[in-house]
Amino acid sequence: MLKRFCTLAACAGLMLGASASPASADLTAFLGFSPTPDHRLVRGLAVGSGLVVVGFEFEYADTTDDEDTGAPSLKTGMANLLLQTPIPIGRFQPYFTIGGGLYRERVDAIDRQETSFGSNIGGGVKMTLTGPLRLRLDYRLFNLRGDPLYSTVHRFYGGLNLAF
């Protein structure tokens, strides 16, 4: 079964490479919030590159802590695969994303910290504003491994996206 999967994956990769069009890239600076366990500010940066439908993205995000409620800070560094429409529909380009990477959850008040692997799944839309400038709206659901205080974390954000 594994041999068959590897063969199919290799064939798909060759076909994708043979039919590749020029790559495009983009950069997103974003602000948002995480409601897990309380509403806290999230800020971050994402840089991506892609072909027509498939893209890759690396992102860093920093969720602030809330000392009053004991909500931890959360830093994530994720590598993601994006599947998106090849061209905007109207001015909107929807996408789906899945990925994984490292996270660090920290609560200074009780001197607790957890660093481990996490995965995420989500989606959103890039809306053309003018020229290469787009508005990006995104939702992610994180699954944090190890021993975090909150193993399932939600994140919503909006950001300015520059395509180049």
Render 104-159 in DSSP notation, one character per residue: EEEEGGGTEEEEEEEEEEEEEEEEEEETTEEEEEEEEEEEE-SS-S-SEEEEEEEE
Mean pLDDT by 10 residues, the chain (164 residues): 60 51 84 96 97 96 94 98 94 97 95 97 97 97 97 98 95
Residue 93 CB partners (closer than 8 Å, separation 6+): 84, 85, 87, 125, 126, 127, 128, 134
pLDDT of residue 18: 47
Q: How many whole angstroms separate alpha carbon 152 and alpha carbon 70?
A: 16
Q: Does domain 25-163 have CATH number 2.40.160.20?
A: yes
Which H or E run contains 7?
A: helix 2-18
Which H or E run contains 28?
A: strand 24-34
Instruction: Give exposure, 74-100, as e/b (b: 16+ Cβ within 10 Å).
Output: bebebebebebeeeeeeeebebebebb
First and final CA of the chain: distance in angstroms? 41
Domain ranges of the chain: 25-163
Q: Quick one: how far is CA 7 from the chain centroid?
A: 28
Q: How many whole angstroms separate alpha carbon 155 and alpha carbon 140?
A: 5
Pairing mode, strands 54-63 and 112-130: unpaired
pLDDT of residue 12: 54
